[in-house]
Structure 1
Amino acid sequence: MSTSAIDPVSFSLYAKDFTRFAQELGASFERYGFAVLSDYDLDQARIDAAVDSAKAFFALPVETKKQYAGVKGGARGYIPFGVETAKGADHYDLKEFWHMGRDLPPGHRFRAHMADNVWPAEIPAFKHDVSWLYNSLDGMGGKVLEAIATYLKLERDFFKPTVQDGNSVLRLLHYPPIPKDATGVRAGAHGDINTITLLLGAEEGGLEVLDRDGQWLPINPPPGCLVINIGDMLERLTNNVLPSTVHRVVNPPPERRGVPRYSTPFFLHFASDYEIKTLQNCVTAENPDRYPESITADEFLQQRLREIKLA
């Protein structure tokens, strides 16, 4: 049975009562750094098709998959098992994954650091299915940012230009079955680098969030929900009013070790040249500016990618 320590907010409120939607979502973010969104309007059959295409890719021979590795520091294509390591961790995460990013037209100012996507020829439906999922989660992310802006007493469309052509990445994750003597965990404790992350509910549990009191809370919502969390960039922009909370994916209990886990986080990013500069309405006498020096989104990203061994 799926369990979650955070009560869901219904996406139906977006159209029916946006003020309430923004308040409930924002309050969850401020309290936990996470929110759970139920009743989303994404086509479940198309979500399933994208996940099936991902599963088909991960079922390919290792040497076949490795043909698609090594693109732009791990920002596109295949990232093999045993590469990504949580900041400060001694052992790599027990996972492999695929990255899809934004398609840019020729001559775009961000092409120097946003590579073209690659596509596995062995899975004919992959590009169609996965591109749909990328664009759908990108659109949903924009609506969530409207709520966050309203909660922060900014203009509703404040974030729209900040994420225009942002360096957002869809990650298709495969956590293989866990051997009894496994060293490491499926995903070590970490905070996300980006603006916000949108995660469709996984078939297998394991996601946990570190609460303020040091307790790990399970965040395993039922099907039809999105888990959304604040990333480090937005934490910095909001002067920690909205926290980027540490989370992890723990290894399964013995009876589930033989079952793989798949998930599809969408890391929504600011535009590469966006200047992350503390919002003044998030600065008070009790919460003085923690980040007096600004930094561009790409500078912040590259710094963090080096720390987790993806650059």
Structure 2
Amino acid sequence: MMELPVIDLEEYLLARGGLEENGDAGQEFLALCQEVANCLRDTGALVIRDPRCTTEDNDRFLDMMEKYWSQSDAFKRQQERPDVFYQVGVTPEGIETPRCLFDQSLQERMNQLSEDARPHVPSGADPKWRYMWRFGPRPSNTGFQELSSDPVIPEGFPEWRDTLNDWGRKMISAVEVVAEMAATGFGLPQTTFTSLMKEGPHLLAPTGCDLSKYGKKGTVFAGYHYDLNFLTIHGRSRFPGLFIWLKDGRKVPVSVPPGCLLLQAGKELEWLTGGECSAGMHEVVVTDKTLAAVEAARKEGRSLWRVSSTVFGHIAYDAVLQPLGHFADAPRAHLYSPIVAGEYVKSELSVIKLKGKKIMSAQVAPLSSS
């Protein structure tokens, strides 16, 4: 399993309190921020422990989502909203399409990886369900109202709103702290990123993968892809299967330690840093360890739905994505022309078949054996 350093946010929160009180950022405070920045730059991922996000919180969320995903397809489709690009409510299996099926640059990247680091090639759209739950304040005036629709609540789940809002807000609070630490570690003002996140379209977006139906080794639940948002944060799942790629091309299985959270850089962070931080590539695949966890769950009479606990932290739709501060002079900064975040998001949703725009798809180029 991947051994990323575990960064304890409690140390930062205590040090930040001292900073606000006496105005002195000690060397330990700055070193911790530098560690976060270096980790995002060098690996695109990091593991944190946040005392505000407990194992009990994560379990409460997973329990409710397992109950929801076990409902009939007909019931779940009542929460489907394709007219707003599936950005609220449920996205059924077979809808979200991995970008690697269409994006020639990603296919070239896959070909360049060593044989033991290559991703599984999906045969089509992901066989996973996803639920999009937007939380937090939204802008009263935005040019992207269609991407800021009201949340959808399924009948028969009175605890739905409180459970999702509570877990979502706790995880986005962790994202905001990491964003502060990264900005400081990069030598930027502390609020550089969080000011752009204000009233952002943050999404709690758990997936549901039916291992009783798709429990075959090698099944790809989420094909090789990056996330389009700023920072993604994952809670602990009850079934393994997540793989990430480090910036140097290594593919590693990831297990989130109890009480911890995994973060990955998204495309918006890549944009704001002029390519210095690369959006983290990842996939979710059924492995031998997944099947062992399935067998244990079956013996104990537990749910066989693999539930992710994922929050997409976003830059506000009306903010402009462009390399910030000294990142404007980064070697690849010229590749990241200014674009309004909402326009960027809509262009990405089109490619992965969530925006409803028909796209001509090429056949996947076979991965070379060399």
Check whether TM > 0.5. yes
Q: Which amino acid aligns with 2:337?
A: E
Q: Which amino acid aligns with 2:220?
A: V
CA displacement at 1:173 relative to structure 2: 1.3
Distance 1:211-1:103 versus aligned 2 partners, 3 A rule: closer
Is 1:69 the equivalent of 2:80? Answer: yes
CA displacement at 1:266 relative to structure 2: 0.5
- 1:255-274 aligned at under 5 Å gives the runs 255-256=292-293, 259-274=304-319
Q: Which amino acid aligns with 1:102?
A: F
8 Å contact from structure 2 (residues 135, 204) kept in 1:
no
8 Å contact from structure 1 (residues 4, 221) kept in 2:
no
Identity of aligned residues (%): 23
C-alpha separation between the residues in 1 aligned to 2:206 and 2:336? 36
SS in 1 for 2:145: coil
- 1:53-202 aligned at under 5 Å gives the runs 53-70=64-81, 72-89=84-101, 90-102=123-135, 107-109=140-142, 111-177=145-211, 179=214, 184-202=219-237
Match for residue 249 of structure 1? 284
Match for residue 9 of structure 1? 7
C-alpha separation between the residues in 2 aligned to 1:66 and 1:288? 43
Q: Which amino acid aligns with 2:90?
A: Y
Q: What runs of 5+ residues in structure 1 fail to find an aligned partner? A: none
Q: What runs of 5+ residues in structure 2 fail to find an aligned partner? A: 16-27, 102-122, 296-303, 356-370
Higher deviation after alignment, 37-46 or 118-127: 37-46
8 Å contact from structure 1 (residues 104, 111) kept in 2:
no
C-alpha separation between the residues in 1 aligned to 2:339 and 2:252? 32
CA displacement at 1:180 relative to structure 2: 6.3
Higher deviation after alignment, 147-156 or 211-220: 211-220
C-alpha separation between the residues in 2 aligned to 1:180 and 1:207? 15
Distance 1:307-1:21 versus aligned 2 partners, 3 A rule: same
Match for residue 300 of structure 1? 344
SS in 2 for 1:290: helix
C-alpha separation between the residues in 1 aligned to 2:219 and 2:57? 33
8 Å contact from structure 2 (residues 54, 259) kept in 1:
no
Higher deviation after alignment, 182-191 or 164-173: 182-191
Match for residue 110 of structure 2? none
8 Å contact from structure 1 (residues 49, 129) kept in 2:
yes
- 1:208-219 aligned at under 5 Å gives the runs 208-219=243-254
Distance 1:260-1:252 versus aligned 2 partners, 3 A rule: farther
8 Å contact from structure 2 (residues 244, 283) kept in 1:
yes
Distance 1:157-1:180 versus aligned 2 partners, 3 A rule: closer
Match for residue 301 of structure 2? none
Distance 1:183-1:31 versus aligned 2 partners, 3 A rule: closer
Higher deviation after alignment, 212-221 or 61-70: 212-221
C-alpha separation between the residues in 2 aligned to 1:63 and 1:18? 52
8 Å contact from structure 1 (residues 278, 289) kept in 2:
yes
8 Å contact from structure 1 (residues 86, 190) kept in 2:
yes
CA displacement at 1:8 relative to structure 2: 1.5
Distance 1:183-1:67 versus aligned 2 partners, 3 A rule: farther
SS in 2 for 1:74: coil
Distance 1:40-1:240 versus aligned 2 partners, 3 A rule: farther
SS in 2 for 1:186: strand
Distance 1:158-1:292 versus aligned 2 partners, 3 A rule: closer
C-alpha separation between the residues in 2 aligned to 1:11 and 1:103? 22
1:233-274 residue CA offsets vs partner (Å, 9 max, x unmatched): 110110111111211112122544564321111001111111
C-alpha separation between the residues in 1 aligned to 2:71 and 2:284? 24
What is the RMSD of the two structures over their aligned residues, measured on CA atoms? 2.2
Match for residue 230 of structure 1? 265
8 Å contact from structure 1 (residues 50, 126) kept in 2:
no
C-alpha separation between the residues in 1 aligned to 2:322 and 2:138? 28
CA displacement at 1:81 relative to structure 2: 1.3
Which of these two proteins has the greater Rg computed from alpha carbons? Answer: 2
* Count of aligned residue pairs for this structure pair: 308
CA displacement at 1:113 relative to structure 2: 3.0
Distance 1:185-1:292 versus aligned 2 partners, 3 A rule: closer
C-alpha separation between the residues in 1 aligned to 2:264 and 2:146? 29
Which of 57, 66, 74 is equivalent to 1:46? 57
